[in-house]
Amino acid sequence: MAKLGRELKAKGINVIDLSLGEPDFKTPQHIIDAATEAMNQGYTKYPPIAGFAELREAIVTKLKRDNNLDYKPEEVMVSTGAKQVLANAILSIINPGDEAIIPTPFWVTYASLVSLAEGKNVFVPCSIEDHFKITPEKLEAAITGRTRLFIFSSPCNPSGAVYSREELRALADVFVKYPDIVIISDEIYEYINYVGGHESIAQFTELRDRTVVVNGFAKGFAMTGWRLGYMAAPKELIQACDKLQGQFTSGANSIAQRAAITALLADLTPSFDMVKAFKERKEYIIPALQAIPGIRISAPEGAFYAFPDVSSFYGKSYNGQAINNADDMAMYLLHTGHVIGVSGAAFGDNNCIRFSFAASMDTLREGIRRLTEALAALQ
Ligand code: PMP
């Protein structure tokens, strides 16, 4: 969608782009300074495959400080973005024919990686009625003798759903009965939380040794381009991922790693200020979307996406162009409304469109104006 948007922009059309999944803030200055210092100090050579010892230590400190999780440095590994963390984990865990349960809507990469590993994706539809969260009943119903993996994000991209401690406890009670299932808990939006404390499923001691906590620097520290993420997991999995990463890419960028130590251990105020800005925007955009006739929305509890259900417009049309699904709607909004969101179909949900609110208030207001007008024009 971003590419199509750029093409329209190149034709001189003014488009409002709400498709991107990245903070619209600059990386905090003290992190940039730490990177400059690292280069001057000579951190310009190959780093260890699993990451600098000091960074792994800093991650251990962070996991204890923020999540009350106890890990040793050898249970932590650093990679080129949370995306590579996921690739390492999924390719290490899934054998051909293994099943991975993924509640929908989900971040698209999970399913692609399971397919790459020749595993089978088992999608469990969770709609707006469930606030886009899987229930213990639905989870248990999806489990078979071949289930090897469960993958989810909290806060969730694209829905913004955040699992509470109680909700995670209820899922954990199911997993306890199935000891062969590994859980990938993608917590990359951890800091972008509007409902209070972040909870990790790894906190339940019965699950700790088969949970892979995935996190990174892209979202909470506005460091998308630095390409740095990490996992906390049992040592055996770290060893397997180390082997894989050693052949694919080796250690993640050494300069970014040094700066990340500062990101984790220095003042977190810039991250919290960014979250405050996202919260203000959320408080504008969610009621504004709710006010559009025909739209239904579950308010996000984290991340920076609105995920309205637009299915009540399906079957309508504009100038003979019928809107029958989320892809049609996203294309209509792009070409006619000049506002860009991402079709929910990309995330396994055909009823919704994802709009990022990591954009200025002026951009969001104009986006809402165009969306309102474009939807009202459908007959
Ligand atoms: N998980 C989720 C849920 C994401 O939204 C993203 C980025 N869009 C990632 C992982 C990947 O993060 P990174 O940029 O660190 O590779």
3-state secondary structure 31-83: HHHHHHHHHHCCCCCCCCCCCCHHHHHHHHHHHHHHHCCCCCHHHEEEECHHH
- Percent of all residues in the chain with a pLDDT value above 70, rounded to a whole number: 100
Residue 10 confidence class, pLDDT cut points 50, 70, 90: very high
Ligand 1 contact, 302 CB (< 6 A) = no
Residue ranges, CATH 3.40.640.10, the chain: 29-265
pLDDT tops 90 at residue 361 = yes
The CATH architecture of the domain made up of 2-21+270-376 is Alpha-Beta Complex (3.90)
Average pLDDT along the chain: 97
Phi-psi domain of 119 (left: phi exceeds 0; alpha: psi -120 through 50; beta: other): beta
Tell me, using a 6 A CB cutoff, whether residue 17 lines ligand 1. Answer: no
Q: What is the pLDDT of residues 216-256, one digit of tens each?
A: 999 999 999 999 999 999 999 999 999 999 999 999 999 99
- Measured in Å, residue 151 CA sits from the centre of ligand 1 at 13
Report pLDDT digits (tens) over 151-199.
999 999 999 999 999 999 999 999 999 999 999 999 999 999 999 889 9
Q: Where in the chain is the domain with CATH 3.90.1150.10?
A: 2-21+270-376
pLDDT on residue 163: 98
* CATH architecture for segment(s) 29-265: 3-Layer(aba) Sandwich (3.40)
In the predicted model, what is the mean pLDDT of residues 33-46? 98
pLDDT digits (tens, 9 = 90+) for 93-145: 999 999 999 999 999 999 999 999 999 999 999 999 999 999 999 999 999 99
pLDDT at position 2, please?
A: 82
Query: Measured in angstroms, how far is the CA atom of residue 224 from the centroid of ligand 1?
Result: 9
Q: With 90 as the cut, is the pLDDT of residue 46 above it?
A: yes
Q: Which residues contact 378 (CB under 8 A, 6 or more apart)?
A: 313, 316, 317, 318, 323, 332
150-187 burial, b at 16+ Cβ within 10 Å, e below that, comes to bbbbbbbbbbbbbbeeebbebbbebbeeeeebbbbbbb
Structural contact between residues 214 and 189, judged by C-beta atoms closer than 8 angstroms: no
For residue 22, give the ligand 1 atom closest to its CA.
Answer: 8
Above pLDDT 90, what percent of the chain? Answer: 97
Q: What atom in ligand 1 is closest to the CA of residue 217?
A: 15
Q: Residue 69: its pLDDT value, please?
A: 98
Q: Is the pLDDT of residue 43 over 90?
A: yes
pLDDT tens track for 313-336: 999 999 999 999 999 999 999 999
Q: How far is the CA of 13 from the centre of ligand 1 (A)?
A: 30
Q: Which of 109, 230, 257 to mutate to test the pocket of ligand 1 (most atoms within 8 A of CB)?
A: 109
What is the β-pairing status of strands 339-340 and 16-17? parallel
Checking if the pLDDT of 1 tops 90, the result is: no
- Atom 12 (ligand 1): residue with closest C-alpha? 82
